[in-house]
Structure 1
Amino acid sequence: MSQTALIPAPPLLHMHPLRVYWEDTDAGGVVFYANYLKFFERARTEWLRAAGVGQHELRERTGAIFIVIDTRVRYLRPARLDDALQIAVTRAELGRATLTVHQHAWRGDELLCEGNIQIACVDHTSFRPQRIPSDVLSRLTPP
């Protein structure tokens, strides 16, 4: 049995817990709007890791890296200092060289922020698009 077969596909929904710290807030004690993109990035990284895709290892092995090429974010309610959040990641579309995910920031059952993030696979030196390696594609495709 191959090692790839032992690594499960990512769940349809991945939840990443996160606490809001001083560094995340503005002078009003509210999460600064750009920090939601950081929260989303952390959750995507952990989603990939849960699927057996380490981004450093991917670059070393294939020369490929993932970069964000488009974001659409909608802010609904503020998060504040010490809030416990859950950042959701759901794979929406998977192409040959791109990946789109839907992401949501929740405080309990209250939706605070939502976004669609499009990611491209590129060569880490030239930044030219390249296909997502087949082993990564298989890990990001539910059985």
Structure 2
Amino acid sequence: MEGVRHILTLRVYYEDTDFSGFVYHASYLRFMERARTEILRAIEFDHRRLWDEKREGFVVRRMTIDYLRPAMMDDVIAVTTTAEDVKAASLVLRQTVTRDDDVLVAATAQCAYLRDGRPARMPDRMRREMMRTE
């Protein structure tokens, strides 16, 4: 069962590309990281505040990425992030990067919730919101 879903729209800039004019593979990691931050913000959680107040937050434990098609400078792309397999101290986020109807990148991020560098239960409200279906 899939939970909450968020879409982040971005424009590709020159700095995101390599010498060929295509998006550099590591740029997609930044795009997806921004989207993971924004899905938290959409359910009213803030990375910075969690860290400053409680010394807790998510880290990426494992990520699989399939690069299917390239994006180019000035393309408008969307990063869709969907929460799935939400557990007490971890979750799996499925992310796709699309341009119009074309899937460019498909990824899965397994994230662990840590407090003071050790696995911990995520806040109950966060877990409920991540499991929420729309």
Deviation digits for residues 64-122 of structure 1, max 9, x if unmatched? 12111100000000000000001000111111111111000000001100000011111
Partner of residue 30 from structure 2, selected from 38, 57, 75? 38
1:14 aligns with 2:9: no
What is residue 61 of structure 2 aligned with on the other side?
69
Q: Which runs of 5+ in 2 are unaligned?
A: none
Distance 1:141 1:90 in 2: 10
Asked if the contact 2:4–2:130 (Cα under 8 Å) also holds between the matched residues in 1, the reply is no
What is residue 118 of structure 1 aligned with on the other side?
110
Question: Identity across aligned pairs (percent)?
Answer: 36
What is residue 136 of structure 1 aligned with on the other side?
126
Structure showing greater radius of gyration is 1
Q: TM-score, normalising length from structure 2?
A: 0.91
What is residue 4 of structure 1 aligned with on the other side?
none
Distance 2:108 2:102 in 1: 18
Q: TM-score, normalising length from structure 1?
A: 0.86
Q: Which runs of 5+ in 1 are unaligned?
A: 1-10
Asked if the contact 1:16–1:87 (Cα under 8 Å) also holds between the matched residues in 2, the reply is yes
1:52 aligns with 2:44: yes
Aligned length: 131
Deviation at 1:44, TM superposition (A): 1.1
Asked if the contact 1:14–1:89 (Cα under 8 Å) also holds between the matched residues in 2, the reply is yes
What is residue 89 of structure 1 aligned with on the other side?
81
Structure with more of its chain in strand, by fraction: 2
The runs of at least 4 aligned residues of structure 1 exceeding 3 Å deviation read: none
Task: Please report the RMSD computed on the Cα atoms of aligned residues, expressed in angstroms.
Answer: 1.4
Asked if the contact 1:75–1:113 (Cα under 8 Å) also holds between the matched residues in 2, the reply is yes
Distance 1:57 1:36 in 2: 25
Instruction: Give, as a single letter, the amino acid of the residue that structure 2 aligns with 1:132.
Output: M
